[in-house]
Structure 1
């Protein structure tokens, strides 16, 4: 380039959408080989004749000032948009220095956002990065996850009608990578034995194993999870976009959107959402349901306030709000203390969400008389130990609603309203049993017994008060407690000669301190005062230790069978699945013995309640309901240290069935942002008890509007489950299928 003539790049012209617009800036190279940025509607001179009254040096100084202002984003907030109109640039005053590191971070991300105004900036950047890395395949950045669009086929693409590839990535002559609309949704991992709870001391993030198991599983082949619709002058978003619930990143920046569709809540996998440079004045409260968001950019809009529902975005790291006419309190808090502080402020300052509708009572026998002495109700409830309910573990819950005093009072109100005859609680702290539950429930007519977890053995007196365990309460007007028994899995396993004491045994099984508490009750109001055996269990939670779950379940049923044989009259010796021997003949003998004694065990009324941390499709559920689990079952593959279990499989003679299986299992008893499912059960012996009623599910519409439990209305990460039973007259056949009926569940039914 010679002489003093300026050479211009990127002059005014139509943009890529075919819409006439002035390009945001022009690049020039002067005679000295220097590059400069041009403001819209201006011409830069470097030598030669200039406009009258202005020197070349002055022109260059003005141009450099304009370029600096453009680079710092001090002009029109929409200056980077392809749709800005030409006109003289107003040079902004000296930019305000950031008041804190959080404010500085806001400004940096703000400038990054303004620089992304060109159509499909993020997709193009990804492609450029691919080229710089020397190839499109086999590197660390998978740009096939980013999808661009064109004005001609975008509508067909969103509606799913188009099968035309949205783009091709050529790999130097190799087979192109085709980016297509997804043909199927990815399946989620089925965690059959996880409850989604964070472990104590895990900090703000969830356990690594749990996070891995909750990630979507995608089929092999081209797959995209990120969509870039930035800089497209879009005025509305097509509804089919929100069907792609697997998306993790969505860029809608620098368009002309005036609102965010409520269907955004369908995109629960979103981790990044950029809606900067639009014309939004309101942020929908429903956006708080996208609780996986880590980056939410709302720069350069017309937003003045934020809904408190955004407080549930507990993983949010960056909230971009510069360039909005924000209220002073929101703006000040964000600049001084950052995103985390603002989210916590919104979470704790909001009013309580609307309460869910009352859970319906499902009647399985409309003719049953609830005040009859042969009818009893049983409730099971994991109340979430205060030690585990930390703000780091449940940071989507308002701090005042997570406080134990608030949750305790709500739990007691629920128990008072439901008035079950037998209450089985899990995760009860020792001090809370002594100072709260035992006292309050005695006022309601209950007596109770408490069993603490095994780790309390090695603790001081003060430390033992904070150890949780299981508590069973019973109406003293109906039952008397004959005896109690505690099964500590650790201690019992050490005393068993058939368990091989290898590294796997000590590292996997002996580090778990779960327990089962047994109470042998006598029914005072029935002829003959029949026995009722009640087991209250809390099985290990971690899905990585499914072998531990299965061994704990097997030990539970064996211990219960021995207790029944010891305390119930007329029951013969329990079948020994631990007897020495090997081969199919031994397994066959054990099975015959189980079948022969099953009728005897079903003469004794038995209830097993608890948090089993296993879903209805798990091996534990199959074992309890069928009475057996074959040795080749996939959940028994790691049972080498437990030789007889490995050789024979698992068996029990109790004849159990889940109370809710008489209708259908609840859709969930535990809900967190990373897990939803049924893991709590009430098991009963089919030979002695008939289920006549069930406490129904939580309203599904209400559930769809919450991030997880606990919250302002649900005091634990579990919900209580409750079943009503009728004592079966001796000689009756097992319960026939009942025609379920529904009526509005009324508290204080008795």
Structure 2
């Protein structure tokens, strides 16, 4: 009907010259409607039947391009991938310029940012210096750095090119992005890299050889279900030795809740040092389900990762070695999932599935979380530990309530390397804008050494001490650089980088080789 109104008023006054702009914003139509209106002016004397069919087809096309509301619980388009045979011809025509410089601005695309925003190191001065040892042992420490980085699978970028309409096409080219990704990795020179959305063909042919040439050892886990990407944990051979590696698949046939192809990895690393052998370090990396409406699946995936963490990090005496957990959690700070990871407990009665991650500005209050969250056949209890499957038909009322109460918890004491609030302006920190709004969804969690006095420089026992972190963007910074990715930032996520000090107190009788972790007590098909 809008196009008829444009033609009706065209010869009467100049209203039609500005009306398409108003209608295109008020009716949620895009520039195709505006272009169509200009075309209609040139076809006023055409056949009316032809104009009628053209009106219908153009309006229907504009509506279908802008209909982004999906009310189902399937994964949103942002996490659907093309098959390996799909073409990417729409990104192939613009390539990196031969001189290796930043690509030229594409005419009609969003302009390149006029100002760069630097990221500075935020150091914790109280962590510097030599800490005194406590009675009964000699304190040892080992410093290292960790990077967590979602590098954006190129196949995912092609599948969801509408999310990157603000970008100049040349900066989306894989050759250009790969060069900048490797430049960032070399510049920061982290001891441990936790990478997400690593496309397998790019990993095998390009990334792994380049990283090995830089002195890294690479461990990779591809997503299940024939998906093209996965997670990688990469560490410097001069700094660590691999004790054991454990891929985690969240897909469990026969468990309807766990029907997605996300994966994780858990590595047990031994620091290389010429002094007394410090405690091993357990490192985990994951990329959780993106769908903001399926918080129940996200919580179950986290529980599976934590169960494997406890199995791998447990010592024979029942204690745990220090841990670092990195990844794209697809959850915002202070959401129920974030609070569960940081606080170790979540009472989920009355929480809806769409509220768990906090990704949606206005979450859908449908489908409350079930009690229990996952079936007992999964082999994981409410404490996020492996347990033997048993028949629950003979349980008393008290035992049944204890097993099925709406509460989950874990025994880790995690801290976040970031405060999620910028020290520059007090605005929220941002790690991505892949859902078309600035969010923090990437994290570095670690088990901190416990304090026994009010003096922040006094630490007790084994654990990790945060020395410094690389600052993140806030909302203003993200607007300044024109969003992600851009000519300087090759992914729609920012890399997180933190420096830690590993403290361990070694007794002479504890100088023994770290045993391999026992197999899980319950294996679920």
- TM-score normalised over the length of structure 1: 0.44
- 1:492-539 Cα shifts (integer Å, max 9, x gaps): xx4xxxxxx5xxx52x431x1111111111001152242111101111
Q: 1:639 to 1:725 in 2, by over 3 A?
A: same
In structure 1, stretches of 5+ residues that fail to align are 1-69, 82-100, 113-194, 203-342, 457-465, 495-500, 573-599, 732-750
1:377 deviates by 0.7
Secondary structure of the corresponding residue to residue 624 of structure 1: helix
Specify which of 329, 332, 335 is matched with residue 618 of structure 1. 335
Number of the residue aligned with 1:389: 157
Number of the residue aligned with 1:647: 404
Secondary structure of the corresponding residue to residue 429 of structure 2: coil
Contact 2:420-2:440 within 8 A present in 1 as well = no
1:674 deviates by 2.7
Structure 1 distance, partners of 2:296, 2:36, is 51
Matched, 1:480 2:241: yes
Q: 1:378 to 1:196 in 2, by over 3 A?
A: farther
Specify which of 445, 467, 472 is matched with residue 692 of structure 1. 467
Specify which of 713, 717, 721 is matched with residue 492 of structure 2. 717
Q: 1:642 to 1:419 in 2, by over 3 A?
A: same
Number of the residue aligned with 2:445: 683
Q: 1:193-592 alignment to 2 at 5 Å?
A: 198-200=78-80, 345-347=107-109, 352-365=112-125, 368=128, 374-390=142-158, 391-456=161-226, 467-491=228-252, 494=253, 505-506=255-256, 508-510=257-259, 512-525=260-273, 527-565=276-314, 568=315, 570-572=316-318
- 1:319-344 Cα shifts (integer Å, max 9, x gaps): xxxxxxxxxxxxxxxxxxxxxxxx98
Structure 1 distance, partners of 2:467, 2:9, is 73
Number of the residue aligned with 2:432: 670
Q: How many residues align?
A: 366
- 1:572-610 Cα shifts (integer Å, max 9, x gaps): 3xxxxxxxxxxxxxxxxxxxxxxxxxxx22xx1111100
Number of the residue aligned with 2:521: none
In structure 2, stretches of 5+ residues that fail to align are 1-7, 19-32, 45-74, 83-104, 131-139, 357-367, 383-402, 450-462, 507-525
Q: 1:606 to 1:201 in 2, by over 3 A?
A: closer
Q: 1:197 to 1:616 in 2, by over 3 A?
A: farther
Structure 1 distance, partners of 2:487, 2:200, is 25
1:662 deviates by 9.6
* Higher relative contact order, structure no. (Cα contacts within 8 Å, ≥ 6 residues apart): 2
Secondary structure of the corresponding residue to residue 356 of structure 1: coil
Secondary structure of the corresponding residue to residue 212 of structure 2: helix
Number of the residue aligned with 1:629: 346
Structure 2 distance, partners of 1:700, 1:367, is 29
Structure 2 distance, partners of 1:702, 1:392, is 23
Number of the residue aligned with 1:174: none
Q: 1:683 to 1:393 in 2, by over 3 A?
A: same
Structure 1 distance, partners of 2:499, 2:35, is 59
1:698 deviates by 2.3
1:625 deviates by 0.9
